[in-house]
Structure 1
Amino acid sequence: MADANRKTVLVTGANSGLGRALAESFARDGTRVGMLARNRSRGRAARDDIVAATGNRDIHLFIADLGSQQEVRQAATDILDRFERIDVLINNAGTAYASRRISPEGIERSLAVNHLGPFLLTGLLLERIKASAPARIITVGTRIDTAMDFDDLDWTRRRYRMMQAYGQSKLGNLHFTFELARRLAGTEVTVNCVFPGVFRSNLGGSDGAQGVFWKSVDLLLGWALPTPTQAAERVLYAARSPDLDAVTGQYLGDRRPIKAPSQALDPGANRRLWDISERLVGFVQDTEPS
């Protein structure tokens, strides 16, 4: 095993797109990198490519579908067994679905993958992150002005709409960021959400929305959009910049705070989603400030 004191960064959704760009950038500066991917073969290929490109062999692959709470729990166990410290956690993985799907736990899948997966993974790793402080938790968000329907998070009462479901689940990232930042005040663990801008993405992949909506966007506008490597710069700034050593509970765009949807600025709504999330994942995070 590599030096236990070596800086360690964990990136979810790390086998392609923005996540891979982030993993490779950290690998190039000699950081120990944990890559969490859903598909083992694609994850291995990405890891091998990054090792070959950077010469950094301290790159570790972990496998989990973030929509499966059982797989998230197993991945967290594997990560804790492998890493003595976690300096930066980047919750990057996200997806969208053209039609309503459910997770193994019976939860609408965009909510399960985009919000509950990061919520559970972060909670399971949190003590190790706190022990590594100063440390940073960064969630990659999006910029859709929407609100969560707390009475129909699963889309059983409303007609399912892909972008509304995606936007609602990603709004959960902001609720989570702001509430966790409040709970971790004074711990030297900062918590921020970053909007990387619109860029060429494989959102949804082969089993999500990519086959319908995003391929059309890429065909029409892909030539004009930034690459994942360019989009990664905003997230890398949030992960590395000393200017953000004490900055927490922010929604960041291009190196500056941006306005969050109004619902996410409501502390009561943040706590409400937190309580619902704990119930849905069956895990209570002991983070409430005394």
Structure 2
Amino acid sequence: MQNHTQTTALVTGASSGLGRAIAEALAAEGSRVGLVARDEARGTQALEEIKAKTGNMALRLFVADLADQSAVRRLAAEVLKDFDTLHLLINNAGTAFAERRLSPDGIECALAVNHLAPFLLTHLLLARLAADAPARIINVGTRMDTAMDFDDLNWERRPYRMMQAYGQSKLGMLHFTFELARRLQGTGVTVNCVFPGVFNSNLGGTDGAQGLFWTLLKVGLGWALPTSETAARRVLHAARSAEIADLSGAYLAGEKAIRAPAQARDPAANRRLWEISEALTGMR
């Protein structure tokens, strides 16, 4: 990997929580960092606070609603315009929804934000990453033993369940990671998926039942949950460790590889979701 002072990184979901902790750590090392946020006010506040804390002025805010594919395309165009190099892409943004809702593209929102947005954004930035190789892509995942229903990804036939929809959409990141790693062999660009552990998160925000769910979890367990800064160390290890500079297609928890759910270990399933994702994003 490039020297940290020469690294250009892009971090999604960077206005709070894990994404902000990752962005702040990279800024403290002297990296040029692009922070992607959905809310401009919260993103601006995070940007200014990180600048003040680290003294790093080489930070840039990008505002995009990742549920909207047109916004993802505009985001990629802005990144390519403003950043002449890109060495590190961290697809961190993730969310959950209490009830089934559709994105502007007619896609169930958890799938749209947690899987299709990073799939699309990565594709749009891939040429820049390859041109600046060695480069790394880090997909932030979760650890839920589940399987995607390829025939009902939009939850049109099944009763909608928030955590099941969240888990399946994040499983998509593993499918994506494993298939992308195969396709990137020999390019100098690596891709790995990192489980940052269970930590004190603001996943789902304060919207209705999902907000209540996470509030109760924090009240009951918050004292025992690690902070976002602690969880960020796992992601940063994958992003900057020289020991794993050539590692690609791994599912990591800290410094250790962990076993992915059975469906994600099936190359045919990886390819199937890849092809579905190409069709849903117009990248075919």
User: If the length of structure 1 is used for normalisation, what is the TM-score?
Assistant: 0.95
User: How far apart are 1:6 and its partner, in Å?
Assistant: 3.0
Q: Distance in 2 between matches of 1:157 and 1:59?
A: 44
Pairing 1:205-216 to 2, within 5 Å after superposition: 205-207=205-207, 210-216=210-216
1:239 to 2:235 alignment:
no
* Contact 2:87/2:133, CA 8 A, preserved across alignment: yes
Q: Deviations over 1:179-223 (max 9, x none)?
A: 000000111111000000000000011337641211110111011
1:199 to 2:216 alignment:
no
Give the partner amino acid of 1:278: E
Q: Distance in 2 between matches of 1:234 and 1:211?
A: 26
Q: Which residue of 2 aligns with 1:66?
A: 66
Q: Distance in 2 between matches of 1:214 and 1:222?
A: 10
- What's the secondary structure of 1:119's corresponding residue? helix
* Contact 2:144/2:167, CA 8 A, preserved across alignment: yes
- What's the secondary structure of 2:257's corresponding residue? coil
Aligned residues: 280
Give the partner amino acid of 2:268: G
Pairing 1:1-290 to 2, within 5 Å after superposition: 6-207=6-207, 210-284=210-284
Q: Distance in 1 between matches of 2:197 and 2:174?
A: 16
Structure 1: 4+ residue segments shifted above 3 A: 207-210
**1:220–1:61: structure 2 CA closer, same or farther, 3 Å change rule?**
same
* Contact 1:17/1:201, CA 8 A, preserved across alignment: yes
Give the partner amino acid of 1:52: A
**1:145–1:98: structure 2 CA closer, same or farther, 3 Å change rule?**
same
**1:75–1:119: structure 2 CA closer, same or farther, 3 Å change rule?**
same
- What's the secondary structure of 1:33's corresponding residue? strand
* Contact 1:96/1:209, CA 8 A, preserved across alignment: no
Q: Distance in 2 between matches of 1:210 and 1:98?
A: 5
Gaps of 5+ in 1: 285-290
Q: Distance in 1 between matches of 2:190 and 2:116?
A: 20
User: How far apart are 1:119 and its partner, in Å?
Assistant: 0.4
Gaps of 5+ in 2: none
Give the partner amino acid of 2:23: A
Q: Distance in 1 between matches of 2:238 and 2:128?
A: 20
User: How far apart are 1:134 and its partner, in Å?
Assistant: 0.2
* Contact 2:206/2:212, CA 8 A, preserved across alignment: no
- What's the secondary structure of 2:133's corresponding residue? coil
Give the partner amino acid of 1:116: L
* Contact 1:38/1:66, CA 8 A, preserved across alignment: yes
Q: Deviations over 1:147-193 (max 9, x none)?
A: 00000000000000011100100000000000000000111111000
* Contact 1:67/1:117, CA 8 A, preserved across alignment: yes
User: How far apart are 1:254 and its partner, in Å?
Assistant: 1.8
Give the partner amino acid of 1:80: L
- What's the secondary structure of 2:137's corresponding residue? strand
* Contact 1:203/1:209, CA 8 A, preserved across alignment: no
Q: Deviations over 1:100-128 (max 9, x none)?
A: 01100010000000000000000000000
Q: Deviations over 1:36-77 (max 9, x none)?
A: 000001000000000000000000000111110010000100
